[in-house]
Structure 1
């Protein structure tokens, strides 16, 4: 397994007028397995043609195609009404994986969850929920909600974001120990004083997390880097994955 790239790596450049496609094309010679685009970074006027071109690039490079939805799945008393539109979009552009924030499902009924299960089972798209840096992402709540979803056999994976815990004063290593069995996608960050930094410059014991991660789970670099820094960051992740897989 090799590192994967979330387009957060290029966020400032894209927000300044670049396209996700143009920066992904620059990764063609990099040793990576998957890419993840971000819904909020698309220009709606060009999104259709860009997604088509990104799929073609993924086919050419043999990359897995992931998409981050900038919304919450559970909205207090309802399941996100846009979910089916996102699933249809994923099928249209051959996106294999959608990621969406968990949100608040405390007041979501069993009937609503059963309807969600039926909807997800109608699409050949893998959907994961992600822990958020807010009250919904507190470890005890995440654990309870994952248990609830699993008991009802809701076909949702879980994206573990190693950085989001810091903003709600939680320990990512403690969180990892408690919910590692549920993880299906891993978003990697190193944090220092609640700021994202380059790997090995923060306080996150990221190599330990990767060492204890199942070897079929993609590891996404999901923090902004410069063009000069990115090759070294990919190399660090790939070396850590190689060391783990050789044990």
Structure 2
């Protein structure tokens, strides 16, 4: 899916994480409808979100049909962590995630570490790293146990020691919520990154908030340039306006404009 320009630079695929349209719209119209908006705007794929499912009988079938009709790649985002709060590998959560991903025709399942504890045994996770032809990708979230450098570094190092490569979903915005520097994190994890969540951030008096990249106070272009060329990028910031196709297209084109030298 990566595009190569005439000058040899790369344009990675751009996906839309459907949280970008807001929970209210997703629950009113359904994620299949939002997938059509993403396709009309020229996105290469969609990230369907478990927390936004409405539980309708034919929901997953409709979502798969939209993706296949428009030629969209699919990532399934599970809201559950790989490890439970007690520190045990959550095999039931893995089974739920991969069952849904298989029904969707997804290429990847995205999960966070959850209640992972440094030094945890990974052998039970190994059969799930690529299960049913679907790849597991691990995201840094907004928690201390699954969104800071030490546990993530420990996890990836332990996987490497077992001879396994686990792709990382690098969420450039989440580092601000956990007090980490995204540029330092990009340097630390660049070799692991297989997917990037792109969001701008602003600091309000009370908290960090997600904003479009062109409104961000953070150096998002510099972060992207520290990450591997050709890796898929997902929009995960608010997409709002009367013409959502046009709004989405604008931001898809912005992300594509940050070319990475060959």
User: For residue 51 of structure 1, what is the aligned residue in structure 2?
Assistant: 60
Within the candidate set 230, 236, 250, 1:222 is matched to 236
CA distance in 1, matches of 2:131, 2:197: 27
The answer to whether the 8 Å contact 2:112/2:140 transfers is yes
Deviation of 1:169 after TM superposition, in Å, equals 1.3
- Does residue 106 of structure 2 align to residue 90 of structure 1? no
CA distance in 2, matches of 1:201, 1:34: 24
Deviation of 1:213 after TM superposition, in Å, equals 2.5
User: For residue 35 of structure 1, what is the aligned residue in structure 2?
Assistant: 46
1:1-247 aligned at under 5 Å gives the runs 1-14=12-25, 17-44=28-55, 46=56, 48-75=57-84, 76-80=86-90, 81-106=92-117, 109-110=120-121, 113-136=122-145, 137-154=147-164, 156-193=166-203, 194-226=208-240, 227=244, 229-240=247-258, 243-245=259-261
The answer to whether the 8 Å contact 1:98/1:126 transfers is yes
TM-score, length of structure 2 as denominator length: 0.84
Q: CA RMSD in A?
A: 2.0
Change (3 A) 1:18 1:155: same
Q: Provide structure 2 residue ranges, at least 5 long, that are not aligned to the other structure.
A: 1-11
Question: Counterpart of 1:105 in 2: which secondary structure?
Answer: coil
The answer to whether the 8 Å contact 2:190/2:227 transfers is yes
Q: Provide structure 1 residue ranges, at least 5 long, that are not aligned to the other structure.
A: none
CA distance in 1, matches of 2:214, 2:197: 16
Change (3 A) 1:43 1:12: closer
Deviates more, 1:115-124 or 1:88-97: 115-124
TM-score, length of structure 1 as denominator length: 0.88
Change (3 A) 1:121 1:9: closer
Deviation of 1:100 after TM superposition, in Å, equals 0.7
The answer to whether the 8 Å contact 2:35/2:67 transfers is no
The answer to whether the 8 Å contact 1:128/1:158 transfers is yes
CA distance in 1, matches of 2:129, 2:123: 10
Question: Counterpart of 1:174 in 2: which secondary structure?
Answer: helix
Change (3 A) 1:155 1:124: farther
* Alignment length (residue pairs): 240
Change (3 A) 1:107 1:169: closer
